[in-house]
Chains A and B, each alone.
Chain A
């Protein structure tokens, strides 16, 4: 029963295009996160939010931006995609326990 949804699941896009990765959760969680993960590698926190109109950068520098206009929605935007942005992007949310992750978006920039 996935309560956190990411779209698209896969995306192949050309260099220079603007893209938005969608993340929505139905659990009413205030805290939401974006992670970047390359195959076989560690999770890297790139953005997080503790509530509406609150966004912070994570431990890994990223050229992406995020917004949090509604509690349930935490989209990530890349203004100009580059091949170095090719990765898996994972969205997560939490109440007071562990994180619940979405299914992820696998992004390929060609």
Chain B
């Protein structure tokens, strides 16, 4: 059974701080990795995709991938209250497997 694991949280950070979200996956053959943001009552929204080892930056978001360690992370710099949401890690092999999500709360 292919698995994607995340810390369930909730993770609380003060406004302006860096939020660090972590994810591990079990299928060593996975090639595509995604981070989704889901606000309460809304559908998931794709915010980052990463396919190769290293860092990928997009505005305040940085995704990090380490395939040897089967580890994906998402850093949010200068966290804002509007970043408060559940963040889903997803790994694609045949289908996309979603993690359970980490709830992030940014405190003003």
Contacts and interface: CB of A to CB of B under 8 A. Distances in A.
Interface of A: 33, 39, 42-43, 45, 48, 90, 94, 97-104, 106
A104 B46 CA distance: 15
Nearest to A101: B43
Nearest to A104: B43
Contacts, number: 41
A43 B88 contact: yes
A31 to B, nearest CB: 8
B17 interface: no
A106 B100 CA distance: 20
A43 B95 contact: no
A45 B94 CA distance: 14
Given A43-B98, A45-B95, A98 B90 contact: yes
Contact of B44 (A39, A43, A94): A43
Contacts of A39: 40-41
